[in-house]
Amino acid sequence: MAFGRLERTQGEPPMSDINVTPLVDVMLVLVVIFIITAPLLASSIRLDLPRAEGTQPGDAPRFVTVVLDRSGQVFLNDKPVNPAQLADQLAAAAKQNPETEIQLRADQTVAYGRVVEVMGVAHKAGLSRIGFVAEPAK
């Protein structure tokens, strides 16, 4: 009795190339997400901030942003407000947390008296921690 071999067909050899299509798909989705969210991270009010050597990047954990643009318009957290609304909203922030810091961003062309007025409103509302935002000197 003879034992014969059954012939087997050779399968395809293993693939040694990396499929980069899923990687490209994920990277394109991340690029689109970054393109959409990047403009939202920056302040929408254009200012020409003064430069100072003692400034460092970083924010306090609890703060509200008060902005004075070139025309003297006041913005609270990037929303335009009139002086009465500013006083009411700062008083509400002080009532919620008396240690709330105000980050005051004023264009360098704004008159000093206007900046002092905003500081007075903040102090009257009960907020005494005021930080002046400036860009680092080059």
DSSP-derived pairing of the beta strands 135-136 and 79-81: unpaired
Sign of CA dihedral 53, 58, 60, 64: positive
Q: Tens digit of pLDDT for each residue in 91-128? A: 999 998 888 899 999 998 998 899 999 999 999 999 98
Q: What pTM value is reported for the model?
A: 0.56
- pLDDT on residue 47: 73
**What gap in Å lies between CA 129 and CA 32, rounded to an integer?**
39
- Reading the block at residue 61, the tokens are 């954990």
- Reading the block at residue 51, the tokens are 């430069």
Q: Tens digit of pLDDT for each residue in 17-42? A: 888 899 999 999 999 998 888 777 76
SS3 15: coil
**What gap in Å lies between CA 74 and CA 83, rounded to an integer?**
8
From the list 55, 59, 60, 79, the residue with the least C-alpha distance to 69 is 79
Structural domains in the chain plus CATH codes: 51-136 (3.30.420.270)
